[in-house]
Structure formats: structure tokens, C-alpha cells
């Protein structure tokens, strides 16, 4: 059975790997765009209520988009739990002379 520490380490390693691969792809795509590699790619994605259509896109642009999507998908999700305790104070103490 895996301990919670092992699961946290596995999740952290997966996040680092996903962000690293996404970053490498994004940089490679920028280099492809900068080098002037030409080509034509048609991109059509339909999921649920979202659709994306790109026609005659440069291969570098597609590689950048895939890299950014990977990096965003694998970013760490951080949750904070906090508790606020309030105490009631009285501004009119007895015997202060303030009415």
C-alpha cells in the first residue's frame, strides 16, 4: 500500500514532468517560428461546448499552443484552508463615562 507521502511525491513528479515537457515544446515552437519554418496545418478541435479552428497555421504555432496547454494542464493546484475567529468587543465599557 502506498503512503500519502509517496502519493504526494508522485503527483509532484508528474506535475514537474508535465510542466517541463510543455515548456520545452513551447520553446521549440518559438524557435520554429523564429527560424521561419513554413508549412500548413489545419487544426480543428471540438470538445463539449468548446471548439477551435485554425486554418493554415505554422507548425511552430501549433507546437507552441500544445506546449502551453500542457504546461497549464499540469500546473500545481494549491488549496489553502484557513479559519477566522472573531471575538466580540464592546466599545462602551461600564464606567467609562461615554454615553
51 domain-assigned: yes
Q: What is the pTM of this model?
A: 0.61
Cα–chain center distance at 23: 12
91 domain-assigned: no
| Tens-digit pLDDT profile for residues 34-84 | 888 777 777 777 888 888 787 777 888 889 989 999 999 888 777 778 888
Element (H, E) at 32: helix 4-35
In sequence order, what DSSP letters do the residues of 56-80 get, joined into one string? EE-HHHHHHHHHHHHHHHTSPP---
What total of structural domains would you count in the chain? 1
Report the distance separating Cα 20 and Cα 74, nearest Å.
Answer: 9
48 domain-assigned: yes
22 domain-assigned: yes
Which residues form the domain of 14? 8-73
Work out the burial of residue 84: count CB atoms within 10 Å of its CB; fewer than 13 is exposed, 13-18 middle, 19 or more buried. Answer: exposed
25 domain-assigned: yes
Amino acid at each position: 500500500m502506498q503512503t500519502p507521502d509517496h502519493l504526494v511525491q508522485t503527483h509532484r513528479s508528474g506535475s514537474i514532468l508535465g510542466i517541463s515537457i510543455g515548456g520545452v515544446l513551447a520553446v521549440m515552437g518559438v524557435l520554429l517560428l523564429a527560424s521561419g519554418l513554413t508549412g500548413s496545418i489545419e487544426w480543428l478541435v471540438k470538445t463539449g461546448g468548446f471548439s477551435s479552428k485554425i486554418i493554415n497555421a505554422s507548425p511552430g504555432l501549433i507546437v507552441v499552443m500544445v506546449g502551453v496547454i500542457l504546461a497549464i494542464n499540469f500546473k500545481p493546484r494549491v488549496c489553502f484552508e484557513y479559519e477566522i475567529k472573531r471575538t466580540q468587543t464592546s466599545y462602551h465599557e461600564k464606567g467609562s463615562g461615554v454615553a
